[in-house]
Amino acid sequence: MIKNVHGNTVDFLGEAIIAGRYAVGASLPAEPLLCESLGVSRTVIREAVKSLAAKGLIFTGPKVGTRVLPEDQWNWFDPDVIAWLTRRGLTPEFLRDLQELRAVIEPAAIGLAAQRATPADIVEIENAYAGMVKAVDHGGDYVASDLRFHAGLLRASHNRMMAHMSKALNALLRTSFEISTARQNAPRASLPLHRAVLDAVIAQNPAKAEKAIRVLIDGAHQDIEHVLSTQK
């Protein structure tokens, strides 16, 4: 997607903050300096600062100016933040946090889905799985179908908070899937693991569904570790 001037400015400053070019607690350069260096107006800078504050990267206030916030204040579910973290290089801590988050959220949601999924839910997840198979056999966007599969399972829990988590998790999972599926034959090898999850949900077997999703999550984590180890 092509970004406009505002988007490019947010992108430049956000990536600089996450890369550590501005230290925690330090101020961003004054507006006139940013305008000159980035070739944009004060209005663009001010809107970019608002966006970065909403993402938890900076704090603005009277007398203190604009200060860079520590990592624990960042919005880790924001797609831009995840993209900037990915460019910086994913740390073992990031991957550990993601793995633990998935291990907590997804089995619980899938267990509920096995009890509550409607015929319409099953059709949606089946269609997502078919998209994964098609991408493996004939080419296409495997990751998009994979995301649709997992989002469908979360929605099928019919727990509004868990369903909302699918939106929050989307950026994190996309990053995870893009890495894990980079391993040769990983998408094809993961198909039966996804099928096992879906079959358990269709069979209305929560225990089996939860076990199947844990196997799937563990396999994805192993793929990620393999890909990252070969990039060193």
Contact criterion met (CB below 8 Å) for 39 and 45: no
Residue 13 confidence (pLDDT) above 80: yes
Chain segment 97-143, per-residue pLDDT in tens: 888 889 999 999 999 999 999 999 999 999 999 999 999 999 999 99
Task: Report the C-alpha gap between 26 and 148 in whole angstroms.
Answer: 40
Domains in the chain, start-ordered, CATH in brackets?
5-72 (1.10.10.10), 90-230 (1.20.120.530)
Instruction: Give the rounded percent of residues in the chain with a pLDDT score beyond 90.
Output: 68
- Length of the chain counted residue by residue: 232
Chain segment 162-219, per-residue pLDDT in tens: 888 877 788 888 888 888 888 888 899 999 999 999 999 999 999 999 999 999 999 9
Chain segment 45-65, per-residue pLDDT in tens: 999 999 999 999 999 988 778
Task: Report the C-alpha gap between 76 and 175 in whole angstroms.
Answer: 12
Contact criterion met (CB below 8 Å) for 114 and 206: yes
Residue located via tokens 């944009």? 40
Rounded to two decimals, the pTM is 0.81
DSSP state of 150: H
